[in-house]
Amino acid sequence: MNLFQSEAEPTLDGISVVRRALRRRLSNLHIPVQVSDDLQLILSEWGANLITHASMKPTKISVSLDMKGMTLVLSIRDNGSPYPEVLDCLSTLSPALPDPMTLENGRGLELLHTFSDGLRYATRAPEGRVENTLSFSRDLMDNRPTILVVDDDPALAKSYAAFLDANFRSLTATSLEEAQRKATTQPVDLILTDYHLEDGTGETLISLLENDRGRLPAPLLVITGDTSVRLKEKLEERGVESIISKPVRPRELNRLVKNALGRSHRQQAFLLRHFETVYRDLRGEAREWRQLGDILIEHLAAARDTGSGDAVIMTRSAEATRLILVDMVGHGVSAQAGSVAFLSILRTVNALSPALSCVEYVRTINRLMTQDLELSGLLSTFLVADVLEGGRLHLASAGHVPPIVAEGNRAHPLTVSGGLIGLAGDDDFEQVDYTLRPGECMFLVSDGLDPSGLASGDPLPDWLQRAMTAFASSPEPDPAQGERRKALLSAINAALGPEPADDWTLLAVTRSRS
């Protein structure tokens, strides 16, 4: 789904004009502030390189932003001379490797690579016309913890971020002002800072963050070359989780960050007790199965850590049973709190307008989330399924993983088009009607069962297809015993592990064979 398209004059002013147009478009979309800032920075940096440093300057530059599943893709096309070095560096880039643009303006490919979940560069010359394309992608469902790295030396900040790159998403700041702004405008799970900064100290940063009541507390780790006992005691008194002595070793840094996040998650569990009470009331009782005439609905789920961002709402009307499967972006306290707010909205709209069709229901939620700026921090996908007599289903999606239909030894996704809430217009949502045949099963799943593919159109993973077809082809179940649920859970745990990397939820809707 295309979200933005523009042509830029091949000048620095032209790039600036398009960047401002992109910023205006992003401000109307349901996109986290950091992602919006990164996209604008990428456009500015790459555009400046094209115009200032290419041996043959481009005469045409075009910019597009597309949504593919839950991934944003920014594409910048030009007809100037290509950067052949980029093709060699993209697959192996690390802080130790040369950046073809670094010598020119101090930033460039390494910066692009840091912000990206996927980076591609291609050049071709159809009929003698040069066409270069840089494609930069960001996965909105990336659930890695976010670490804010603070050091007044940009090279050191980037190095520490690179040490953590395999397990965490990193943001960097080179001043107290920048650190405070980033820590207060987006979710940050942990802060790693050098003690001696150009405009203050680690203690100054602690004081700034303590006075900000609009953010959840995050553990703080301090790097210092000062080994004095007095400094160590002062930092411990201020609540610093760990003090890391220079030189910083990558393995030790990752260990300390993981341990601090583990302690933080356990502390968050106490906060979640409050959310859990409200949350259970909003999403309803999580029963393992329900029999609705000739339709059996079975429910399996697992949470990544102390709190799940997934939820299921089930409501009844005279005509249908409505299932709403919600997948909040994020994890832990933030996702749980977001779920409480979003589920309240979903239930309120459903209660006030129970006669809305499933697609009109999605459109109503979309308009509400788009128009109210106070709701811009709630990012989620959801799928609505109305189950009627005779195995009939009406379905509508808001950027969610497609449902999967299984019968015999075959399982396949059912396309239900719909953009992410806040990124789409009413016409981008559709209703799909489907009738289950006797013995056929439809699975409604969250992204955690296949975080890399289904929502973007990739084929069903082999392991998941085998597990679903085995479930659907098993003998007529006894819901109370739940034998086939146990077999399916065992197959999922074998593939994802008992402690999954992301929350996952599965609803199996089966029509009786008789």
Q: Is the pLDDT of residue 378 over 70?
A: no
Q: Is the pLDDT of residue 102 over 50?
A: no
pLDDT for 50: 84
CA distance 383 to 396: 6
Each residue's pLDDT tens digit, 330-344: 555 555 666 677 888
pLDDT for 144: 77
Query: Cα separations (Å) of 498 from 39, 260, 302, 493, 502?
Result: 36, 22, 8, 5, 11
Average pLDDT score over residue span 256-260? 90
Q: Is the pLDDT of residue 182 over 80?
A: yes
Each residue's pLDDT tens digit, 486-499: 999 999 988 887 77
Each residue's pLDDT tens digit, 144-161: 788 999 999 988 998 998
Report the range of poorest mean pLDDT among 44-48, 92-96, 226-230, 384-388. 92-96
Average pLDDT score over residue span 385-392? 94
Angle (CA) 469 498 140, round 5°: 80
CA distance 139 to 129: 32
Q: Is the pLDDT of residue 256 over 80?
A: yes
User: Rounded mean pLDDT of the chain?
Assistant: 80
CA distance 202 to 200: 7
Higher pLDDT, 65 or 501: 65
Q: Is the pTM of this model over 0.75?
A: no
Report the range of poorest mean pLDDT among 114-118, 256-260, 416-420. 114-118
CA distance 490 to 467: 9
CA distance 67 to 2: 6
Confidence of residue 372 (pLDDT cuts 50, 70, 90): low
Confidence of residue 466 (pLDDT cuts 50, 70, 90): very high
Contact partners, residue 398, CB within 8 Å, separation at least 6:
362, 365, 366, 380, 381, 382, 383, 418, 419, 420, 421, 424, 429
Confidence of residue 288 (pLDDT cuts 50, 70, 90): confident
CA distance 50 to 156: 27
Q: Is the pLDDT of residue 93 over 50?
A: no
Instruction: Name the nearest CA neighbour of 197 among 187, 206, 184.
Output: 206
Average pLDDT score over residue span 208-237? 81
pLDDT for 253: 92
Domains of the chain are 1-140 (3.30.565.10), 141-265 (3.40.50.2300), 284-511 (3.60.40.10)
Each residue's pLDDT tens digit, 310-333: 788 899 888 899 999 988 765 555
Place of tokens 């987006």: 186
pLDDT for 461: 85
Compute the CA torsion angle 164, 146, 423, 501 (nearest 10 deg): 80
CA distance 296 to 445: 16
Each residue's pLDDT tens digit, 7-34: 988 888 888 889 888 988 887 776 776 6
Which H/E stretch holds residue 135?
A: strand 131-139
Each residue's pLDDT tens digit, 200-222: 888 888 888 777 655 567 889 99
